[in-house]
């Protein structure tokens, strides 16, 4: 029996649901002083704190399957079939019968944080298999992980209307007739039209400060780790233990420290074990086994997908069991009890545990209301379930094929120049606000955006231009409303900003949608991630230029090659891009080709001169060229 050609997927969505800490005296005043921050168990003003994220949705996703899948079977040559065949023919993986996949994505105030997009797998085997499940899953991760991650990202990006679908790319200079990238109709309006998103963030404003503190990260530390573990725990723990090396600012420095350091495994305390056997942590009809650093709960059938809403009284209603007819195999839920920050990587421990181990605050809140005490902390487990029914409305959608050259590489590099910890503009310039206002933001509307970080405004202006950045920041409001908001602002009350400056802000309005969408730099990261679609053609040009230049250097080819000639013309164009002012940048694509003739003429003269000097037969050639 071979592998099932259909790899079912679910999407686990983490969202930021915790509120920002506000003082009890004035609900509009954000507590930003260091003293208050220290007093709190959790530094919740830090957007990367793990306590801010919860599983809010588990949604079915289109399965990964062969494009020709029918009653006759799979085609056998599409990328999915090739991958599955490779897996099936691997001796260590022969006992596999089914692969299930779950994609984990993190939405931070409406923005996809692509750094944390991660697939995880579960496997089913033949009954006589003696293989170690964890080893097999690790091998599967190695073989299938990058592909599935790309699949998930493509799906999510299509939700966000990024709209570029890459095609397979050849190495070396390409003929011009071959389009490098196939573009969906990219509509600028859709890029910023966040109301069209299919994923909506949970409104976290209904959470209270008290409940948030009681569910804080510190409590999690106390229960699931020894005291000395708490010392090891970093203040900036993030969702996901598999941190991406090249993607994103948030994991830049931490990667070097966290991923490369020996993350030794520490056994759980007895209290931690006991906590796992409390009623709220035990599923009905489940079998519990305690392993090395993990507790595995095998649910025969009833995997309850929490809808992240409702109270204790409506717990049953808010959780809906998956229909039994859809599931034929049992589901293994694995709960990992390691303290955050001490969680060992999958290749460092005896069992496999994939990233998401974030507590569900709603579940905990329910637990508290049931038990009347705040003694328990529930770790929301990894979950995966199989859906065998084909009548779920899932339609086939072709997986992404081919390779993308600049995927997720160039933009983080660009951003790291401007980011908070690297941004000399923001760090070393005291009068940055005035600088920005005087340089770029001279329009009246900019004054209404007082609650957006200066450096973020700076970054957006640098990337989008003044007008587009302004439109983006104010996109939710019409021009008329903006005017009204501006009038309101003059009579508005004052409130403290993060940096201590007092600026007039309307307590009810400004409704700056952008400010609600996420942490400033992360939001800007999302914008630049979207912009990376635009830059791919430029990147491809760079690639062609470098390969052509390499061919010239090594003597494999010369100017007679039209592709190389045009690529060197592009190279000259890049040189101009680096030198010229904004006003002189050509916006016409034809300009990239017009310069070919100029470059050819110059190089031709050089060539003729060289021929005269170095080759006696050059005279004939020279004469021939003059005729031409």
Partner 1 sequence: MCDEQMQQALSTLHKMHPDARTVVVSEMMCDVVYTIFFGGYRFTHCKLLSTHTICPQTSPLADISKEIKHRLGYIPELAKTEAALRHLIDLLTSNNLAFHQEPCNDLVYEMRDSVSFAAIETESILGRKFRLFKNASRVHYSTMRRLVSSQHSTYKRTLATFLAEIIAPTAEKCADWLCVESSRTLVHRDKCVALLHSKVAAFEKATRL
Residues of this chain, 598-627, that bind partner 1 according to CB under 8 A? 602-603, 606-607, 609-611, 614-615, 617-618, 620-621
If the CB atoms of residues 191 and 221 are measured against partner 1, the closer one turns out to be 191
**One residue of 38, 554, 626, 628 binding partner 1 per CB under 8 A:** 554
Least CB distance from residue 133 to partner 1, whole Å? Answer: 15
Q: Does 582 bind partner 1 (CB under 8 A)?
A: yes
* CB nearer partner 1, residue 322 or residue 463: 463
Q: From the list 117, 377, 551, 595, which residue makes contact with partner 1 (rule: CB under 8 A)? A: 551
Nearest approach in angstroms of CB 223 to partner 1 is 27
Of the candidate spans 2-10, 32-40, 106-114, 570-578, the one that interacts with partner 1 by CB under 8 A turns out to be 570-578
The reply on whether position 347 binds partner 1 by CB under 8 A is: yes
Q: 577 near 202, Cβ under 8 Å?
A: no
Element (H, E) at 335: strand 331-336
Rank residues 122 and 359 by Cβ distance to partner 1 and give the closer one: 122
Question: Which of 174-182, 266-274, 374-382, 474-482 is the region at the interface with partner 1 (rule: CB under 8 A)?
Answer: 174-182
Contact 595, 602 (CB under 8 A): no
- Which residue among 290, 326, 577, 623 contacts partner 1 (CB under 8 A)? 577
CB 264 to partner 1: min, Å: 10
Residues 25-84 that bind partner 1 (CB under 8 A): none
Measured from the CB atom, the residue of 123 and 404 that comes closer to partner 1 is 404
Nearer to partner 1 among residue 287 and residue 606 (C-beta): 606
> Segment 230-259, which members bind partner 1 (CB under 8 A)?
243-247, 252-253, 255-257, 259
x/- binding map, residues 151-170, to partner 1, per CB under 8 A?
Answer: --------------------
113 or 387, CB closer to partner 1? 113
Looking at beta carbons only, is 270 or 617 nearer to partner 1? 617
Q: Is 616 exposed, middle or buried (0-12, 13-18, 19+ CB in 10 A)?
A: exposed
Q: How far apart are CA 237 and CA 241, in angstroms?
A: 9
Q: For residues 335 and 542, which CB has a smaller minimum distance to partner 1 in the complex?
A: 542
For residue 451, which of 491, 522, 510, 523 has the smallest C-alpha distance?
A: 510
Query: Is there binding between residue 442 and partner 1 (CB under 8 A)?
Result: no
Applying the rule CB under 8 A, the residues between 294 and 323 that interact with partner 1 are: none
Looking at the Cβ atoms of 140 and 308, the one nearer to partner 1 is: 140
Give me the least distance between CB of 163 and partner 1, in Å please. 11
Taking the mean position of all CA atoms in its chain, how far away is CA 538?
A: 23
**Checking phi first, is residue 32 left (phi over 0); if not, alpha (psi -120 to 50) or beta?**
alpha
Q: What is the nearest approach in angstroms of partner 1 to the Cβ of residue 263?
A: 8
Among positions 20, 40, 305, 463, the unique one binding partner 1 when judged by CB under 8 A: 463
Shortest approach of partner 1 to residue 553 CB, angstroms? 5
Residue 320 β-bridge partners: 305
Of 480 and 560, which has the nearer Cβ to partner 1?
Answer: 560
**Cβ(103)–Cβ(152) below 8 Å:** yes
Q: Residue from 1, 39, 59, 183 that binds partner 1 (CB under 8 A)? A: 183
Q: Which is nearer to partner 1, 478 or 575 (CB)?
A: 575
Of the candidate residues 142, 195, 434, 597, the single one contacting partner 1 (CB under 8 A)? 142
Question: Which lies closer to partner 1 via its Cβ, residue 287 or residue 534?
Answer: 534
Nearer to partner 1, 387 or 524 (CB): 524
Structure tokens at 187: 């509509």
DSSP string for residues in 223-258: HHS-HHHHHHS-S---S-SS--SSS-STTHHHIIII
Q: Which two tokens stand for residue 29?
A: 């005043």
Contacts of 520 (CB under 8 A, 6+ apart): 452, 453, 455, 456
Smallest separation, CB 155 to partner 1 (Å): 15
Taking the complex as a whole, the smallest distance from the CB of residue 380 to partner 1 amounts, in Å, to 25
Shortest approach of partner 1 to residue 221 CB, angstroms?
24
Helix, strand, coil % over all residues of the chain, rounded to 5: 45, 15, 45
By CB under 8 A, the residues from 370 to 429 that bind partner 1 are 403-410, 413-414, 416-418, 422, 424-425
Q: CB of 132: closest distance to partner 1 in angstroms?
A: 12
Q: Which long-range contacts (CB under 8 A, 24 or more apart) does 186-193 make?
A: 186/533, 187/161, 187/163, 190/161, 190/163, 191/161, 191/162, 191/530, 192/471, 192/472, 192/475, 193/161, 193/475
Strand partners of residue 504: 494
Residues in the chain: 628
The one among 431, 589, 627, 628 contacting partner 1 by CB under 8 A: 589
Alpha helices by DSSP H, listed for 377-519, are 410-418, 424-428, 432-439, 454-464, 466-473, 479-490, 513-516
Q: Which residues have C-beta within 8 Å of that of residue 435, sequence separation ≥ 6?
A: 429
Compute the distance between CA of residue 174 and CA of residue 186 in angstroms, rounded to an integer: 24
Cβ contact 62:56 at 8 Å: no
Sequential DSSP letters for 360-411: -HHHHHHHHHHHSSS---PBPPP-------S-SS----PPP-S--TTTTTHH
Least CB distance to partner 1 at residue 551 (A): 7
Q: Which of 208, 235, 309, 348 binds partner 1 (CB under 8 A)?
A: 348
Report, in Å, the least distance between residue 105 CB and partner 1.
16
Six token digits for residue 256: 């070097």
Closest CA to 194 of 450, 515, 464: 515
Residues 252-291 that bind partner 1 (CB under 8 A): 252-253, 255-257, 259-262
Q: Say what the alpha-carbon torsion angle 421, 426, 427, 428 is, to the nearest 10 degrees.
A: 140
Yes or no: say if 266 and 302 are a contact pair by the CB < 8 Å rule.
no
Cβ nearer to partner 1, comparing 305 with 538: 538
List Cβ neighbours of 15 (8 Å cut-off, separation of 6 or more).
Answer: 53, 54, 56, 57, 106, 107, 108, 201, 202
The contact pattern for partner 1, residues 529-548, with x = CB under 8 A and - = no contact, is: --x--xxxxxxxxxx-xxx-
Q: What is the dihedral of CA 461, 466, 467, 471, to 10 degrees?
A: 30
| Total number of residues that touch partner 1 (CB under 8 A) | 114
CB nearer partner 1, residue 271 or residue 606: 606
b/e burial code for range 70-92 (CB count within 10 A of at least 16 → b): eeeebeeebbbbebbbebeeeee
């Amino acid at each position: 029996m071979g592998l099932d050609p259909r790899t079912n997927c679910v999407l686990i969505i983490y969202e930021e649901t915790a509120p920002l800490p506000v003082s009890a005296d004035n609900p509009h005043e954000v507590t930003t002083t260091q003293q208050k921050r220290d007093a709190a168990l959790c530094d919740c003003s830090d957007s990367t704190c793990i306590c801010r994220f919860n599983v809010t949705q588990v949604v079915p996703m289109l399965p990964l399957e062969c494009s020709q899948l029918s009653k006759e079977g799979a085609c056998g040559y599409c990328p999915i079939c090739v991958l599955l065949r490779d897996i099936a023919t691997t001796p260590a993986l022969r006992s596999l019968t089914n692969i299930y996949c779950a994609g984990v994505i993190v939405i931070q105030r409406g923005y996809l944080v692509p750094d944390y997009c991660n697939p995880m797998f579960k496997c089913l085997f033949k009954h006589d298999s003696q293989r170690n499940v964890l080893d097999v899953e690790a091998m599967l991760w190695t073989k299938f992980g990058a592909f599935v991650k790309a699949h998930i990202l493509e799906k999510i990006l299509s939700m966000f209307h990024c709209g570029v679908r890459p095609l397979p790319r050849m190495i070396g200079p390409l003929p011009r007739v071959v389009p490098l990238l196939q573009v969906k109709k990219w509509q600028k309006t859709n890029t910023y039209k966040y109301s069209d998103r299919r994923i909506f963030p949970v409104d976290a404003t209904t959470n209270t400060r008290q409940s948030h503190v009681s569910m804080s990260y510190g409590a999690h530390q106390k229960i699931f780790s020894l005291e000395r573990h708490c010392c090891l725990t970093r203040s900036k723990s993030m969702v996901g233990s598999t941190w991406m090396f090249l993607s994103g600012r948030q994991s830049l420095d931490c990667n070097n420290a966290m991923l490369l350091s020996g993350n030794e495994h520490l056994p759980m305390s007895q209290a931690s074990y006991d906590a796992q056997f409390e009623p709220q942590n035990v599923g009905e009809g489940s079998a519990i086994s305690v392993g090395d650093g993990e507790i595995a709960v095998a649910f025969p059938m009833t995997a309850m997908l929490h809808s992240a809403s409702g109270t204790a009284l409506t717990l049953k209603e808010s959780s809906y069991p998956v229909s039994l007819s859809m599931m034929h195999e049992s589901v293994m839920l694995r709960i990992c009890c390691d303290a955050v920050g001490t969680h060992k990587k999958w290749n460092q421990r005896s069992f496999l545990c994939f990233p998401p181990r974030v507590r569900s605050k709603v579940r905990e809140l329910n637990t508290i209301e049931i038990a009347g005490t705040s003694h328990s902390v529930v770790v929301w487990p990894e979950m995966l379930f199989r859906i065998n029914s084909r009548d779920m409305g899932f339609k086939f959608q072709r997986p992404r094929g081919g390779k993308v050259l600049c995927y997720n590489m160039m933009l983080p590099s660009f951003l790291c120049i401007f980011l908070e910890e690297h941004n000399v503009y923001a760090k070393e310039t005291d009068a940055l606000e005035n600088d920005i206002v005087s340089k770029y933001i001279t329009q009246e509307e900019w004054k209404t955006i007082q609650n957006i970080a200066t450096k973020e405004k700076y970054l957006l202006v640098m990337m989008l231009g003044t007008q587009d950045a302004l439109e983006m920041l104010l996109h939710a409001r019409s021009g008329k409303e903006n005017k009204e908001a501006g009038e309101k602002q003059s009579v508005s009350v004052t409130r403290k900003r993060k940096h201590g400056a007092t600026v007039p802000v309307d307590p009810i309005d400004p409704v700056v949608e952008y400010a609600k969408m996420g942490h400033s730099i992360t939001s800007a990261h999302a914008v630049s991630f979207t912009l990376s679609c635009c830059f791919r053609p430029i990147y491809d040009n760079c690639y062609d230029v470098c390969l052509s230049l390499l061919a010239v250097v090594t003597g494999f080819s010369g100017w007679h090659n039209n592709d190389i000639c045009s690529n060197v013309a592009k190279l000259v164009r890049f040189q101009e891009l680096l030198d010229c002012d904004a006003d002189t940048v050509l916006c016409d694509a034809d300009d990239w080709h017009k310069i070919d003739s100029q470059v050819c003429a110059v190089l031709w003269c050089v060539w003729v001169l060289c021929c005269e000097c170095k080759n006696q037969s050059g005279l004939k050639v020279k004469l021939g060229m003059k005729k031409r």
